[in-house]
Structures are given as C-alpha cells and as structure tokens.
Copies of this chain bind each other. A is one copy, B any other.
C-alpha cells in the first residue's frame, strides 16, 4: 500500500506530518508513504531522522493551499499546491490513498473534481469516527458537516456508504444504521428526516430507526446518518461541552483549596484519560466516503500521532478496497428498487 501525504496546510505542518509518516511506516509492514510538498523543506526535516528509506518517498509541489483560500478557486488556481499535486497523482492511479490536514472545503472540492465520485453518489460525505463510552467501539457519523441542505436520497446513500465502511474496514457484521432525529419515534422529525426514515426502511442496510443526539456516544448504532448541518451541530456541541467541563473543573479545583488540589493530583490519570477520549485527537478528522479513491482528512491541528493514525486509517481503507465495496453496495441497492 502506498499512501500519498499532503505535508502542508495543517497548523503543525510540515514537521508533524513528516514525523507521523515515519511512525506509521515503522508500525505497518506493507505501508509506504510519499511525502508531497516542497521537497527541499521536507528533505531538510528528514535529514536528521532515522527511518526506512525504502518506505518513504518524496513528491515535489511548490505551492500551499491555506485555510483562507476559497475552495473552488484554490483547486483551480493553485495547480502546483501539495494538495492538488497529491490529488492528481491519486486520480492517476499512482497511489492507493491520500491523507491531508489542509483546507477541508478545498479537499472536498478537489476530491470531487479531480478524483471523482463513485457512480450513483450525489455528494461525498465527510465522516468522523466518534468515540463511544466503550473502549473498543466507534460510531461513524455520515455526514459530519460537508453537506448542508441534504435531500433524503443523499441520506440514503450516506447510510449505504457508512454501512460499507463499518463492515469492510472495521469488520462489523451487519452494521446497525440509525437516523439522527429529534425523537426516537417513527413519526417524529422534520420534513427531511421523515422522508429519509421512509427511504431507509426500504434499503438493504440494517436500519434500526431514529436516534436522539443524547445517545451519540453510547454505542447504540455503528452508523449514524445525518444532514451535515445537524451532524455539525452535534460535533461542535460535544466539542464545546468537553471544553466547558474542563474549564469549570479547573476553576472549582482552584477555588477548592488544598483538599481539591490534592484530590486533583490523585485523580489526574483518570481525568487525563477522560480528556483524551473527549479531545479532537481521538476523533481525528474524518474519512471522505463516496470518492473513487481513499481520501482521509486529518484535522487541521494534527500532531505526529494524529497524522500516524490518519495514515493507518487510509491504509486500512485501501487494504479493504473500500471504494469498490461502496460501489458494489450502491449498485446492488439500485437494482433493488
């Protein structure tokens, strides 16, 4: 497996990207990573590192797409940017997958225009893997924010794609698919979720019905389907709650005197575990579902660990041949109706 890594565009780039790649190839036997970006800068970082030279290669690109760039313009104009060069090489079949921590909108537009969508997919989704209260269980949220104003037929595609991901990549048998809604009962919902509920009942996916946002982290479903606007509300509320919890706890400990401070010291390892689960590192960006090749979005503030995890995720998706599995599932579903 050969994954191309856009080494520019993230907050801690390129150092963290390069370091993450070295860690990833050290961990996985049959993984090669090609570092895309200014080769002089990257070579300079690599100079002092110890790594297997057969498993790291370079692909030169002179420009960088930043978060201030307008997505469509950036993809069209910055033809020698690390993102566009990597996407084109991926589209040409030079690589099995790609990872980028750059401008999310540009990556979505670039993946759609240059790598193209799987037949039958209206829009690619950006899907984060949510942590749950169970160590060994994740839930994929399709869509986490890429597409607002979704049609019900798009939510149906999201369900099929998310189900294919959990089954092919995560080995979940007959993944449970739920629809994010304002009530668990079938008759609850807005116009979109009511229509989507009816459509989902007719598909081959293991549709278990509506799920309320309060159950997101409790591992009730393997796949949660949502309009990207709603998915975004949930992700960002959770992020804000995590921040609020630790802000308040810190304040209470400061005000709580010696007793609270001692308690904090003793409880620190447990609180650290909690913080880790609730941090964006564990969610770690998301995967684009619906694109003809594997594209993984690492979050903008990715450190080396986050890049390593994103590369491993791309490796697993490529190894499982996910785009073909999604294409197959969509074709099968189309034949059914």
Do the beta carbons of B216 and A237 come within 8 Å of each other? yes
Chain B residue contacts of A216, Cβ below 8 A: 237, 240
Closest to A262 in B: B266
Would you call A120 an interface residue if the criterion is a C-beta within 8 Å of the partner chain's C-beta atoms?
Answer: no
Chain B residue contacts of A253, Cβ below 8 A: 267, 270
CA distance A263 to B249 in the complex (A): 14
Do the beta carbons of B270 and A252 come within 8 Å of each other? yes
CB distance from A268 to the nearest CB of B (A): 8
Taking CB atoms and an 8 Å cut-off, the chain A residues in 237-274 that contact chain B are: 237-245, 247-249, 251-253, 256, 259-260, 262-271, 273-274
Chain B residue contacts of A217, Cβ below 8 A: 240-241, 244
By DSSP majority rule, is chain A's interface helix, strand, loop, or mixed? helix
CB distance from A67 to the nearest CB of B (A): 11
Do the beta carbons of A213 and B236 come within 8 Å of each other? yes
Contact for A213 among B233, B268, B270, CB less than 8 A: B233
CA distance A159 to B229 in the complex (A): 20
Given the contacts A133-B247, A230-B230, A242 and B241 also touching, CB distance less than 8 Å? yes
Q: How many copies does the complex hold?
A: 2
CA distance A260 to B263 in the complex (A): 8
Do the beta carbons of A263 and B274 come within 8 Å of each other? no
Closest to A255 in B: B270
CA distance A53 to B312 in the complex (A): 71
Chain B residue contacts of A270, Cβ below 8 A: 249, 252-253, 256, 260, 263
Would you call A191 an interface residue if the criterion is a C-beta within 8 Å of the partner chain's C-beta atoms?
Answer: yes
Interface residue total, chain A, C-beta cutoff 8 A: 56
Task: Identify the interface centre among A189, A191, A259, A267: most chain B CB within 10 Å of its CB.
Answer: A267
Would you call A44 an interface residue if the criterion is a C-beta within 8 Å of the partner chain's C-beta atoms?
Answer: no
Chain B residue contacts of A244, Cβ below 8 A: 133, 217-218
CB distance from A309 to the nearest CB of B (A): 20
Chain B residue contacts of A236, Cβ below 8 A: 182, 212-214
Would you call A234 an interface residue if the criterion is a C-beta within 8 Å of the partner chain's C-beta atoms?
Answer: yes
Would you call A180 an interface residue if the criterion is a C-beta within 8 Å of the partner chain's C-beta atoms?
Answer: yes
Closest to A189 in B: B148
Do the beta carbons of A266 and B263 come within 8 Å of each other? yes
CB distance from A279 to the nearest CB of B (A): 13
Given the contacts A241-B242, A242-B241, A260 and B267 also touching, CB distance less than 8 Å? yes
Would you call A52 an interface residue if the criterion is a C-beta within 8 Å of the partner chain's C-beta atoms?
Answer: no
CA distance A183 to B213 in the complex (A): 20
Do the beta carbons of A245 and B278 come within 8 Å of each other? yes
Would you call A215 an interface residue if the criterion is a C-beta within 8 Å of the partner chain's C-beta atoms?
Answer: yes
Chain B residue contacts of A20, Cβ below 8 A: none
Chain B residue contacts of A260, Cβ below 8 A: 266-267, 269-270
Chain B residue contacts of A268, Cβ below 8 A: 263
Pairs A–B under 8 Å by Cβ, sample size 17: A133-B244, A133-B248, A148-B182, A149-B190, A182-B232, A190-B229, A212-B236, A213-B235, A213-B237, A215-B240, A216-B237, A230-B230, A248-B274, A262-B266, A263-B263, A263-B265, A263-B270
A residues contacting B by CB (< 8 A) are 133, 145, 148-149, 180, 182, 189-191, 212-218, 228-230, 232-245, 247-249, 251-253, 256, 259-260, 262-271, 273-274, 277-278
